[in-house]
């Protein structure tokens, strides 16, 4: 009976996580509608979508290696498709220099890095050990991506304004981190549960900052060049909140810049 209850609870959290993940994957739709209408990327960055695709592809690979992981496969295959559509549209309307940068980014992350991981882990004959190695790779990548909200939080502190931080999205991503944490815990998969602890912590911190600075005056930031697509701790781009989320992780938590309102200088 207890085992049945745990299975039922895991299914409930898995379904909730799937719904939240799909909502977050669809969050950039207004941005791409704007890009489509204006026929211009208007300075929006490609890094979040490339990393989101890479993250979804990694978790999809993990889902295929793991038994009884239909939820992971459904969420991340859908996420991979959605992010691919975003990137294709981005490449269509991006100026030449930005398009070249994005292609290089995709080759680096989604072809070379992913190919190396796929090829390297396929040489591990023991299925259980291969799953463990891929799980650790996912955790390491997720933790490195979780540093992204720091730039947004630094921006809020620097400008004393939450103009570029969405409270509703931060709340949704925080709840998503909680849901995937308990899902991972219930199915006894720490590779899913552990990273979301950090995602939850960052989500709470951002909501607290929103409440502290929500009445502050907005501050305009200077424009930047194409080079500012590459994260730099010395310069913080103007951003709108968007997190990378795949099943079992919060990239969310992992918040990356998607709504960079800066204009690229060609």
pLDDT of residue 241: 39
> Residue 266 falls within a domain, yes or no?
no
Handedness of CA 60, 79, 25, 103 (dihedral sign): positive
**Listed range (66-80, 151-165, 227-241, 247-261) with the worst mean pLDDT:** 227-241
Distance between CA 202 and CA 225 in Å, rounded? 28
Would residue 237 count as lying in a domain?
Answer: yes
Domain span holding position 122: 2-257
The answer to whether position 183 is within a domain reads yes
pLDDT at 218: 52
In whole angstroms, give the CA distance from residue 70 to residue 258. Answer: 29
**Cβ contact 160:213 at 8 Å:** yes
Interval 227-249: pLDDT, tens: 444 343 333 333 333 444 444 54
Q: Is a pLDDT exceeding 60 seen at residue 254?
A: no
- Dist. CA 72–CA 91, nearest whole Å: 28
Instruction: Say how many domains are in the chain.
Output: 1
Q: Is residue 262 part of a domain?
A: no
116-145 confidence digits (pLDDT tens) = 999 999 999 999 999 999 999 998 887 766
Q: What is the pLDDT of residue 65?
A: 94
Distance in angstroms (rounded) separating the CA atoms of residues 99 and 91: 6
Q: What is the 3-state secondary structure (H, E, C) of the chain?
A: CHHHHHHHHHHHHHHHHHHHHHHHHCCCHHHHHHHHHHCCCCCCCCHHHHHHHHHHHHHHHHHHHCCCCHHHHHHHHHHHHHHHHHHHHHHHHCCHHHHHHHHHHHHHHHHHHHHHHHHHHHCCCCHHHHHHHHHHHHHHHHHHHCCHHHHHHHHHHHHCCCCCCCHHHHHHHHHHHHHHHHHHHHCCCHHHHCHHHHHHHHHHHHHHHHHHHCCCCCCCCCCCCHHHHCCECCECCCCCEEECCCCCCCCCCCEEECCCCCCCCC
Q: What are phi and psi of 210, to 5 degrees?
A: -60, -45
Both tokens of 105, joined, read 């980014």
What average pLDDT score do residues 63-80 get?
92
Q: Is residue 265 included in any domain, yes or no? A: no
**pLDDT score for 8:** 86
The answer to pTM > 0.85 is no
* Chain segment 14-48, per-residue pLDDT in tens: 999 899 889 888 888 888 988 999 999 887 788 88
């Amino acid at each position: 009976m207890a085992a049945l209850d745990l299975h039922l609870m895991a299914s409930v959290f898995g379904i909730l996580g799937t719904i939240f993940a799909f909502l977050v994957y669809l969050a950039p739709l207004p941005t791409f509608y704007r890009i489509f209408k204006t026929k211009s990327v208007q300075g929006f960055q490609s890094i979040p979508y490339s990393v989101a695709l890479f993250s979804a592809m990694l978790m999809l690979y993990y889902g295929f290696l793991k038994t009884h992981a239909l939820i992971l496969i459904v969420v991340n295959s859908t996420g991979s498709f959605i992010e691919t559509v975003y990137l294709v549209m981005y490449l269509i309307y991006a100026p030449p220099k930005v398009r070249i940068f994005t292609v290089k980014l995709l080759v680096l992350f989604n072809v070379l890095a992913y190919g190396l991981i796929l090829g390297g882990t396929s040489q591990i004959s023991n299925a259980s050990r291969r799953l463990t190695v891929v799980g650790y790779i996912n955790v390491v990548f997720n933790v490195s991506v979780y540093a992204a909200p720091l730039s947004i939080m630094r921006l809020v502190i620097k400008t004393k304004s939450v103009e570029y931080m969405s409270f509703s999205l931060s709340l949704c991503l925080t709840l998503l981190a909680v849901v995937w944490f308990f899902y991972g815990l219930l199915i006894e998969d720490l590779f899913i549960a552990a990273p979301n602890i950090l995602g939850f912590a960052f989500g709470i911190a951002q909501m607290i900052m929103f409440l502290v600075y929500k009445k502050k005056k907005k501050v305009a930031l200077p424009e930047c060049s194409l080079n500012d697509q590459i994260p730099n701790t010395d310069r913080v781009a103007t951003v709108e909140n968007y997190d990378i989320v795949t099943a079992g992780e919060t990239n969310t938590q992992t918040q990356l810049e998607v709504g960079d309102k800066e204009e690229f200088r060609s």
